[in-house]
Amino acid sequence: MPEEETPSQRRVLLVDDHELIRCGMRSLYAEIDDLRIEWLEAVTLLDALEVYAQNPPIDAVLLDLNLSDCKGLQGLRRFVECHPGARVAVFSGTADEFVVRQARALGAAAYVHKGALMDDMRRTLQALLQARPGKRESNMLPNAALFPRFAASALMDRVSELGPRHLEILELVLSGCANQEISQCMSLSLGTVKNYVSALLLALDVRSRSHLISLFR
């Protein structure tokens, strides 16, 4: 009798500081169709960078946005800078349109919503893992499985015209950072940060910082 085919294996690094979430992902998605998943774990960005470097090959990374040692999409930026070949998917409890668009622009391979239905989560993980890094396959699921879709909006059209530095500062403003925190995080003078924030308000045609934040909630 011919030997029974065994599922292909993929290795996924899950970066999340909530043990219950890590345990749930391991238990619910140990295998997806013909893909068996070996889960590696990290609770901080620094741990994740080390685990990725020391345990090749890793086929994908699920990276939470809220870790103790990084804010928002800063973690995604640092990960892709340190490991340009990594397939890093944002793993988040929010599906905010600006964050999703920004993550995609920064090189995220997917945006995985923690609150997704199990079937949707399974489809997204399958699409993410069907091909190994750098390899294209004809049976890959369409990109619609990897990122939430949003209706076009005038505000997002204006956001898409912003430069990289303005986008970084906008993200920090939306994360609730004060000008002083942004100054320290980005190694810019306080006056420079104020100028950037003023330019953002003008470019996005909003009256105040609080008005800006309310538009993205």
- Please write the tens of the pLDDT for every residue from 111-164: 999 988 898 899 899 889 875 544 444 333 445 678 887 655 667 767 777 888
Q: Which residue has the tokens 């939470």?
A: 64
- Please write the tens of the pLDDT for every residue from 185-217: 888 999 999 989 988 888 887 888 888 888 776
Residue 181 Cα distances to 65, 96, 106, 151, 163, angstroms: 18, 22, 22, 33, 20
Q: 193 near 186, Cβ under 8 Å?
A: yes
Sheet arrangement for strand 8-15: 31-32, 35-42, 8-15, 60-64, 88-92, 110-113
pTM: 0.67
Q: Which band of pLDDT confidence, cut at 50, 70 and 90, is reported for residue 2?
A: very low
- Please write the tens of the pLDDT for every residue from 20-73: 999 999 999 999 888 899 999 999 999 999 999 999 999 999 999 989 998 888
- Residue 159, phi then psi, degrees to nearest 5: -60, -40
Residue 202 Cα distances to 11, 159, 162, 171, 195, angstroms: 45, 12, 12, 16, 11
